[in-house]
């Protein structure tokens, strides 16, 4: 699905150097501007982020008005939201229902398992496998198809060349069709990646984009540490934006054994930063949901255990 762009709210830019600048409003405007400039201010993706992150742990069903209100704060107009909802429903991502004159949305049951798998990666304490975890170096012969190499990549292998893959599983754990003739290294913590492999690992771990995201959110963390208190609406908007940006990277991230972590890999520190900001935004953002979101039978139920377990609680 293409990611359409939408105009930002008509408000003046806030210069971060101004002593009286509101750091919370500045953070929201800065991230909206960056997302629009990068072509990632997408209504359908923001809606999925909001439903999965904020509504999933609170029963999963939410009033259309709450979705519209939060998307409006993020610069997405009502017409764009309606179009995105229609496309998400047509693609099987969300289900719509009505109660009288009110509409309600929820992520489709057909994508429920996909969402839970994604959550385990987005909100994990770490993306690293234990040091010394199994790894297999697979040298494929000519009979090993491109489709098989792609299948290796789908289960978390690092493709070093068209016939060479480093897979972070023991060879006995690979599906039978992915056990080609070749050299395998099982439980070899002494395997030392060379410079070329380290560069490929850095790319597969989204290192440049994660470092950029971390730099973008570090001032917000500093502001929150210094006592800046977002309103409930601001907290929910920032939480939605941050998870929207983090989700895109976390779901593409290559999980590797800790002993193979490239020097200077920014992901562990960035994940800790995202977790710390998330914890700070949680109380106020949940208060916004309490005040503005509803189900067909009334207020949202309290959050379930999934919310408290995110990023290790």
Write down the pLDDT at residue 16. Answer: 36
pLDDT-derived band at 21 (thresholds 50, 70, 90) equals low
Write down the pLDDT at residue 1. Answer: 42
Q: Which is more confidently placed, 132 or 93?
A: 93
The yes-or-no verdict on residue 277 having pLDDT over 70 is yes
Count other C-beta atoms under 10 Å from residue 92's C-beta. Answer: 11
pLDDT-derived band at 164 (thresholds 50, 70, 90) equals confident
Q: What's the CA angle centered on 95, arms 45 and 246, to 5 degrees?
A: 25
pLDDT, tens digit, 9 for 90 and up, residues 240-254: 999 999 999 999 999
The DSSP secondary-structure symbol of 19 reads T
The yes-or-no verdict on residue 302 having pLDDT over 90 is yes
Above pLDDT 70, what percent of the chain?
89
Q: Classify burial at 130, counting beta carbons within 10 Å of its beta carbon; exposed 0-12, middle 13-18, buried 19 or more.
A: exposed
Nearest partner of 289 among 61, 91, 43, 22, judged by Cα = 61
The yes-or-no verdict on residue 66 having pLDDT over 60 is yes
Residue 138, beta-bridge partner list:
165
- When mean pLDDT is compared across 71-85, 133-147, 158-172, 215-229, the lowest value belongs to 133-147
Write down the pLDDT at residue 134. Answer: 86
Mean pLDDT for all residues in the chain: 87
Q: Across residues 149-159, what is the average pLDDT?
A: 85
Q: Which is more confidently placed, 227 or 142?
A: 227
Q: Across residues 41-57, what is the average pLDDT?
A: 95
**Domain map of the chain by residue range?**
136-186
């Amino acid at each position: 699905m293409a990611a359409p762009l939408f105009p930002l709210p008509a408000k003046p830019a806030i210069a971060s150097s101004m002593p009286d600048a509101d750091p919370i409003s500045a953070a929201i405007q800065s991230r909206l501007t960056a997302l629009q400039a990068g072509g990632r201010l997408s209504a359908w993706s923001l809606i999925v982020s909001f439903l999965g992150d904020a509504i999933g742990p609170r029963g999963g069903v939410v009033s259309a008005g709450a979705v519209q209100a939060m998307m409006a704060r993020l610069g997405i107009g009502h017409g764009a939201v309606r179009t995105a909802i229609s496309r998400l429903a047509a693609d099987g991502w969300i289900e719509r229902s009505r109660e009288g004159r009110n509409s309600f949305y929820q992520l489709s049951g057909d994508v429920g398992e996909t969402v839970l798998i994604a959550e385990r990666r987005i909100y994990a304490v770490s993306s690293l496998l234990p040091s010394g975890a199994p790894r297999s170096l697979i040298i494929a012969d000519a009979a090993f198809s491109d489709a098989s190499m792609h299948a290796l990549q789908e289960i978390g292998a690092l493709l070093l060349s068209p016939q060479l893959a480093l897979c972070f599983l023991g060879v006995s754990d690979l599906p039978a069709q992915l056990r080609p003739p070749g050299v395998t290294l099982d439980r070899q913590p002494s395997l030392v990646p060379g410079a070329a492999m380290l560069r490929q690992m850095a790319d597969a771990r989204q290192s440049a984009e994660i470092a950029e995201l971390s730099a973008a959110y570090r001032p917000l963390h500093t502001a929150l540490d210094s006592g800046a208190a977002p309103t409930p609406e601001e907290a929910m908007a920032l939480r939605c934006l941050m998870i929207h940006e983090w989700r895109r990277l976390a779901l593409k991230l290559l999980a590797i054994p800790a002993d193979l972590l490239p020097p200077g890999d920014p992901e562990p520190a960035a994940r800790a930063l995202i977790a710390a900001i998330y914890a700070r935004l949680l109380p106020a953002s949940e208060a916004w949901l309490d005040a503005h979101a509803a189900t067909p039978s009334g207020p949202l139920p309290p959050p379930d255990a999934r919310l408290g377990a995110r990023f290790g609680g």
